[in-house]
Structure 1
Amino acid sequence: EILFDIAKEKDVEIKALEIMPDHVHIFIDFDPRLTLHKIIKDFKGISARILREEFPYLKSKLPSLWTRSYFACSVGHISEETIKEYIENQKNV
């Protein structure tokens, strides 16, 4: 819910999302004039702030909720449907 709220605020469309125990798969569509780095920074920073406000014990349990790293690739020769299916099936792996 938090990530969808951030996406709406930043005019980013989440096409697929799967939350894993130690990482997140997210397929987004955004205006190419925006920078991916800024979008990822906003997702991580805003969600961390909201979660720490809602669950104060996270402040003492985890030094940070997110790492600075991320992996990104663009849709090219692979269809959007293939990417959505891959993301949606991650919990079955």
Structure 2
Amino acid sequence: MNGKRWKRSTTTVYNISYHLIWCPKYRRKVLVDDVAKRLEKLLLQKAHEIELEIVQMEIMPDHVHLFVKTTPTNSPHFIVQQLKGYTSRILRQEFPSLKSRLPSMWTRSYYCESVGHISEETIRKYIEKQKNK
């Protein structure tokens, strides 16, 4: 995907973005040094595989922030499920200390907020004005 505001498919014009956050189990500060570097590479690999553009990423010791752009067919739940599942499996294989410190790599929960170019108020006004046309 490129940096343009709108993307296109054969039937759709879209601009879909999400801010996603999730944490390691028990919010342990395990995302440091080599683990953090490897996590970044794994997230980029999986994102490419599922047609996801990671616009911005910040890996903190106890949580991950992503700003992503995606296609209309990728739900936030699918995205998080794919990224967390893939990274958990590989990180726990490559860093045995994670297995001994955590029963699973990630918490089950995550934060998701849709991010748009125009505000909710603008959309409400636009829809309301459609009645008067």
Q: Structure 2-normalised TM-score?
A: 0.55
Aligned amino acid, residue 106 of structure 2: W
User: Equivalent pairs: percent with the same residue?
Assistant: 51
Query: Which structure dedicates a bigger proportion of its chain to helix?
Result: 1
Taking the TM superposition and a 5 Å limit, the aligned residue runs for 1:25-40 are: 25-40=65-80
> Match for residue 46 of structure 2?
6
- Pairs aligned (count): 78
- The CA deviation string for residues 5-63 of structure 1, in whole angstroms up to 9 with x for no partner, is 01011110000000111111100011112211011011001000010111123212211
Q: Which runs of 4+ in 1 moved over 3 A?
A: none
Structure 2 residues without counterparts, runs of 5 or longer: 1-40, 120-133
- 1-structure distance, mates of 2:98, 2:110: 22
Judging by fraction of residues, say which structure has more strand: 2
1:53 aligns with 2:126: no
TM-score by length of 1: 0.77
Q: Which runs of 5+ in 1 are unaligned?
A: 79-93
Larger Rg: 2
